[in-house]
Amino acid sequence: MLLIYVFNHKKMTELERYIKSYFGIVQPNDMKTIISLFKPSTIKKGEYFLKSEHFCDKLSFIQSGLLRMFVVTDGKEVTQWISTKGYFVTDLASIIFDLPSRWTIQALTDTELFTIQKDDYKKIGKLIPQWHELEKLFIARCFIILEDRIFMHLSMTAEERYQFFFEQNKDLFNQVPLQYLASMLGMTPETFSRIRRKT
């Protein structure tokens, strides 16, 4: 029991560290409040974190492992993003605006999460007045990343997108099936493979 406590404590610290780095300085008491709302859980390789069309009623922090976010269209899976340690995962449209989820999110490996339920998530804003502002800045940061990603699709070839992504995410290349990276970069596995050989 003590072991588990120590174990959890250490992991919680990590969540805290990420919250600090994403949201900036938060009062120690507020941090305690926020952290206490996140509950640890695990999800096994292949299991679903969220299925499309369902309502997403949670937001999770990835402590370890990998989640893949994708959509099925015309019988094909289109991978939108792969989230690793340190990411927050949810369908924003679903948790904020109560819309059915657009994505399916599935574990690529056994994954440790800290999860906050929607009700508790909505409480944070009431408990911590500063919260909405911090979250606004966080979402703005995400928005800017997507703007850049769109720009990449407007102005770069498949090979340039590969190079750019590879520079920033070398580690992912030996952790996930490459076909998923191909998809999220907007090319086929064959094209991805040929580019990879060249470079």
Which residues contact residue 127 at a Cβ distance below 8 angstroms, ignoring those fewer than 6 apart? 30, 33
Site membership for DNA, residue 186 (CB under 7 A): yes
Binding residues among 76-115 for its own copies as defined by CB under 8 A:
76, 78-80, 92-93, 96-97, 102
The DSSP 8-state label assigned to residue 82 in this structure reads E
By CB under 7 A, tell whether 189 contacts DNA. Answer: yes
Strand order across the 88-89 sheet: 39-43, 111-117, 58-64, 88-89
From 10-18, 28-36, 127-135, 190-198, span contacting its own copies (CB under 8 A): 127-135
Q: Is 143 in the site for its own copies (CB under 8 A)?
A: yes
- Work out the number of other CB atoms within 10 angstroms of the CB of residue 120: 17
Question: Taking CB under 7 A as the rule, which mask of x and - marks residues 150-179 in contact with DNA?
Answer: -------xxx-----------------xxx
User: How many Cβ atoms from other residues are within 10 Å of residue 64's Cβ?
Assistant: 15
- Confirm if 196 and 91 have CB atoms less than 8 A apart: no
Residues that bind its own copies (CB under 8 A): 71, 73, 76, 78-80, 92-93, 96-97, 102, 125, 129, 132-133, 135-137, 139-144, 146-151, 153-155, 183-184, 186
